Amino acid sequence: MTEEVRFKSVVGPELAGTIDLPEGEVRGWGIFVHGFTLGKNSPAASRVSKQLAREGIGMLRYDNLGIGDSDGDWGDGSFTIKVQDTVRAATLMAERGTPADLLVGHSWGGAAAIAAAAEATGVRAVATIGAPAEPSHVERQYDAVMERVLSEGSHDWFVGGRTLVLKRAFVDDVHQARLRERIRELHLPLLVMHSPTDNTVDIANAGEIFSEARHPRSFVSLEGADHLLTARGQAQRAAHIISAWADQYIHRSRPGGKER
């Protein structure tokens, strides 16, 4: 079962989200932060969230600005906006009485999940899948048009079968984003998951994130998985691991409340 929700981005337009409702005993709630130009219905976001819901952890997955069912222009977003909108998503979950215990981020969304965790209401643990150690890792994806963007202010960028408008403010924000300090200051349990055969974000990034993080920290190698988790059963496998790892953190009692 799912519930459709909408909430405002920090820059104004409404973002579309889907909450995969937990089955059986409710163990907790979480938010899935999707990759760079992906969306809430991408294989990683959809399959991981649905499997976690089957295991009792309800998950909100939402489309970033200008992606999928969300309003606005993708080019008006940035890494900073993605982080702030993740915090907004956590606020939505808290307001509906289901505060998010868990942030799960895939690829670029993993970096955003780490950066948002300290400000996101209720978050107790963070899990990343195929995340880069620095947000600027995505620059290689639009390297061919970057010079035009910097000189002209914006330029069309064809990616994933569609044309997006890449803007200078977006490029500047990504270039200036720094994640390592956020990792060191996280002070929350962190699970780093990465495939050794990831051809999009090298597994060396996982090592850098893990080495910067403080305990409690964990690393799991997703052997056989591709970056997008499209291979049969790989997204579900990742969800199983996250579910088992997060169990000890999402069951702690909240101040003034009952154990969940």
d(CA 37, CA 55): 28
pLDDT reported for residue 252: 58
pLDDT reported for residue 201: 96
What is the DSSP secondary-structure string of 123-176? --EEEEES--SSGGGGGGGSHHHHHHHHHHSEEEEEETTEEEEEEHHHHHHHHH
Extract the tokens encoding 193.
Answer: 């998951």
d(CA 201, CA 205): 7
Q: Which of 34, 4, 92 is nearest to 228 (CA)?
A: 34
Beta strands 162-167 and 154-159 are antiparallel
pLDDT reported for residue 163: 83
pTM: 0.93
User: Which residue, chain included where needed, has tokens 């069951």?
Assistant: 251
d(CA 40, CA 158): 20
- Domains along the sequence of the chain with CATH: 2-136+179-249 (3.40.50.1820)
Q: How far is CA 205 from CA 76, 157, 170, in A?
A: 27, 26, 22
d(CA 11, CA 48): 28
Q: Which of 15, 20, 39 is nearest to 31 (CA)?
A: 20
d(CA 252, CA 259): 6
pLDDT reported for residue 24: 92
Extract the tokens encoding 175.
Answer: 């270039």
What does each of the 260 residues of the chain score in pLDDT, given as a tens digit?
999 999 999 999 999 999 999 999 999 999 999 999 899 999 999 999 999 999 999 999 999 999 999 999 998 999 999 999 999 999 999 999 999 999 999 999 999 999 999 899 899 999 999 999 999 888 787 888 888 888 898 888 887 777 888 889 988 998 898 899 999 999 999 999 999 999 999 999 999 999 999 999 999 999 999 999 999 999 999 999 999 999 999 875 554 434 44
Strand segments (E) across the chain: 2-8, 14-20, 28-33, 57-62, 102-106, 125-129, 154-159, 162-167, 190-194, 217-221
Beta strands 154-159 and 125-129 are unpaired
Q: What share of the chain is helix, strand, coil (3-state, %, to 5)?
A: 40, 20, 40
